[in-house]
Structure 1
Amino acid sequence: MLRAAAAAARTPAAIAKATRQKLAAGTRSAWLPQLDGPAATGDPSQFGGLPWLRATEVWPACGGCEAPLTFFVQVDLSRTPKAARDPFGLGLLQLFHCTTCNPYRPFSSGDLVRIVDPADAVTPAKEPEGARVLPVRPITGWGLAVKDYPYREADESALLPEEREIVFTLNRQGDKLGGLAGLDTRSRLPALPPWRPSNDTADPADRLQPWRRTPWGDNGVSFLVQCPQHREEVTFLWQCA
């Protein structure tokens, strides 16, 4: 009874501080993209606009409806902060998505998620007929690393009821590189595709979540994830809120 009374007397700031201290061991670094100011010369990192494609490559199409895929984002990983390059590797990370089929499962034929060599890629003169081109937003830089907290703590036994209520608020929202995915405990990050051997000893939380965008479609958040052992294996998943 005295414990409950003491907890009720704590301020929101004190509750948040205590919760962060208890979750400190599970934090990871995240970097937030800067979208204001001039783009760096030669840096293709951007939301929307026209993607970089291989010189002989045609615009990607949906494997289901065959419509031109919509280009969403590309990030030159070699231009991210050095601490981020260690786990992510190098190359140009790209996401194309079919806005007609709107697939949400990983490794869908309606998505193209890949890492290509930017040295072998160029911007096409124009998009093909029927392609949707989003307004371009260059990524002009990256902020300093910030702490990101788990969206849901696997073992909440150490948390008081009022601390459990704010766990979700400590997870960084919006676009970010790295950090921790805001996945519900009922959801799991995708396993490797069938053509790759599974690694049952790998912690699912170690699968990279380079990007989280919100909102997505008319509801939910989306992630790009990467296998920590096979870095060329990247995919997209969309979780409705």
Structure 2
Amino acid sequence: MERLMQSLRMGINEKLYLKDPESSDLGKKIIEQSILMINDMGFESFTFKKLGAAINSNESSIYRYFENKHKLLLYLASWYWGWLEYRMVFATYGIPNEIKKLKKAVEILTQNVEEDSSFTHINEVILNKIVINEFSKSYLTKEVDKENKEGYFLVYKRLVNRLAEMIMAVDCEYPYPISLASTIFEGSLHQYFLKEHFPVLTNCNESVTPFDFFTDLIDRTLNVKANG
């Protein structure tokens, strides 16, 4: 699987970058260091000038890869969702029982992330923290409709639709499969955020995980008898 993962491309929209960062050592260094810095200082404080100083490169060289830091954040989020999609597909492939397949997918989407040695320049654990804390900033903008039409969120939407298809396979009469799928995605991020910053607003803690919450929600929401 590791060799296969190394050969996979995440299907990231080419409009998000001016030059593919995966095509050079400098590009990979930009991605690697930006993940560390955004996690450390937050997206608002992060700048290409600071990034350039950290990697001993001119700020202008970073602008040859990304037009601005907003598109860099979109790139990082797209990479993360693409990586998660491949993990979900591999983990659920060959599971004949539809409810077990759905719950395995939810487990992949909601579990604590472990670093993947297939990508040495990307720390998936830290990137997961960035997605939890910063992903909403990639679409809560005035330009979101235009960017959506440009296909900037295609990977994320594709992943949500994959989960919605699994929900329909469990209960074809359930009328809100896409809403439930997107709720699981956004809700998982939100539960981790609440657990870290506002623990009184969630039941998730060291013993109760978002996976526990969402599998319980699935059992109470869908008609799982046929596939249980």
TM-score range, shorter chain: under 0.3
More helix by share: 2
TM-score for both structures, normalised by structure 1:
0.24
Larger radius of gyration: 1
TM-score for both structures, normalised by structure 2:
0.25
More strand by share: 1
